[in-house]
Amino acid sequence: MSDIRGFDKFFRLDGKVAIVTGGSRGLGLHAATAFLLAGAKTVIITARKAGGPQGIDQAVEKLNKLPGITGRAIGIPANVAEIEGIEKLVNETKRLEGKLDILVANAGATWGGPFEPTPDWSSQKVLDLNVRGVFNLVRLFTPMLDAAGTRQDPSRIIIVSSTAATNVPHVGEHGTIMYSASKAAAHHLTRNFAVELGPRNITTNTVAPGFFPSKLANGLIESLGGEKLLSEETPRKRLGEPEDIAGVMIYLCSPAGNYINGEDIAVDGGRRLGSGRLSRI
């Protein structure tokens, strides 16, 4: 028998304070939900819009009604593509909680269209949020993460990137070249942070989703042929579901993921490898 310590707490987040950017809907909301269900003390979600059917307020209300949770959700509106928005988020987090254990840089922007007419503002929008914003978010939250992490239980940074970082998913009429390049940069930010911040008891890893129905992805899913066709083309024969994000987030942020640093995990049912086929005979 080997001596595995704390096995009963392997996938728990009791007492942890987490921030999820872009937590008002989609993948960020799946992550925030999972954190509370795993016992987190506080989950702060941020997005630009506070009110309305897709704003932070309605998401916070739903999160706080999750059955059996002991922690709470808080919303802080902030634009994390801008340094002022990030500074506001850091100051509010310090004031409300005083510590931070988990930072999920999930908010992302995309733009799709034919290559040559690409308006320059679209590249700026994508790079400001997906690259510069993530860099600054991590940079400004590092002192808090540093203070919370220990050798036995490091603080965690998760960067939500995309499988589009490592393949060329589509070009032409709905091409997303700059999005794909921004996510390649996001993957590489993770590797750099892993080496820079590992010695300070902070781990950094990438979660790289394939297709999950969401406001960001639905237009593209439709223009590529719809959910049914994309499911058929995926080795697991379906698109991503909330539980798929919940599982990988809990693994990476809990004691089970303690020694994982600088890794990227694709959550795409194998789709990125999809040039292989099942042979019939």
Ligand X SMILES: NC(=O)c1ccc[n+]([C@@H]2O[C@H](COP(=O)([O-])OP(=O)(O)OC[C@H]3O[C@@H](n4cnc5c(N)ncnc54)[C@H](OP(=O)(O)O)[C@@H]3O)[C@@H](O)[C@H]2O)c1
Binding site for ligand X (CB under 6 A): 21-22, 24-28, 46-49, 79-81, 106-109, 129, 160, 162, 209, 211-212, 214-217
Say whether 179 is catalytic.
yes
267: left (phi over 0), alpha (psi -120 to 50) or beta: beta
Question: Tokens for 109?
Answer: 């922007």
Give whichever of 176 and 254 is closer to ligand X, judged by the CB atom: 176
Long-range contacts of 216-222 (CB under 8 A, 24+ apart): 216/26, 216/108, 216/109, 216/110, 219/112, 220/110, 220/112, 220/170, 220/174, 220/176
Closest Cα to residue 106, out of 254, 248, 230, 218? 248
Q: How far is the CB of 270 from ligand X (least distance, A)?
A: 15
Q: Which of 179, 193, 211, 212 is catalytic?
A: 179
Q: How far is the CB of 21 from ligand X (least distance, A)?
A: 6
- CA–CA dist 112, 219 (Å, integer): 10
Minimum gap (Å) between residue 126 Cβ and ligand X: 9
Q: How far is the CB of 256 from ligand X (least distance, A)?
A: 22
Q: Select 137 or 154, whichever has its Cβ closest to ligand X.
A: 137
Q: Which is nearer to ligand X, 198 or 242 (CB)?
A: 242
Smaller CB separation from ligand X, 32 or 149: 32
Catalytic positions, please?
A: 179
